[in-house]
């Protein structure tokens, strides 16, 4: 598809600019293949080069914007320490301990991704060490 646009630009924009007559006495004949001719048109036609750069910029921008849908790895670690005084009822249930102490470790990891509908999909694992 891209090749068709190059040919079309070469024919529309390149041929009229190359058809100008050189000054008398400075004429040279050069044998060119069609491929060499088109290459020269592409190299010397600034309008065509601008269009080709715009197409490449758009292609890279599209590719970069699709990166939002790539999955992301996440991982987290959380450590909680709880230390509080027990009430009389709690103290009786815990064999007369006046304070309650607890240490918790929570590990999370997984993959998260955005889908084209706008929803987020998350596949992961949580481990609690209490």
Distance CA 44, CA 36 (A): 12
| Bridge partners, residue 101, by sequence | 83
pLDDT tens, the chain, 130 aa long: 555 565 565 556 555 555 555 566 677 777 889 999 888 888 888 888 899 999 999 999 999 998 899 999 999 999 999 888 878 777 767 777 777 778 999 999 999 999 989 999 999 999 998 7
Following CA atoms 78, 83, 88, 93 in sequence, which dihedral angle do they give, to the nearest 10 degrees?
50
Task: For the chain, state the CA radius of gyration.
Answer: 36
């Amino acid at each position: 598809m891209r090749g068709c646009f190059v040919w079309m630009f070469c024919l529309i924009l390149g041929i009229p600019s190359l058809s100008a007559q050189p000054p008398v006495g400075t004429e040279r004949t050069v044998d060119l293949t069609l491929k060499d001719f088109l290459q020269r048109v592409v190299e010397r036609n600034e309008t065509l080069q601008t269009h080709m750069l715009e197409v490449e910029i758009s292609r890279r921008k599209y590719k970069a914007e699709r990166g939002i849908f790539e999955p992301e790895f996440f991982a987290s670690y959380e450590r909680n320490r709880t230390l509080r005084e027990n009430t009389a009822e709690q103290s009786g249930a815990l064999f007369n301990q006046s304070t309650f102490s607890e240490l918790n470790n929570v590990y999370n990891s997984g993959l998260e991704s955005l889908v084209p509908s706008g929803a987020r999909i998350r596949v992961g694992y949580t481990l609690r060490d209490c």
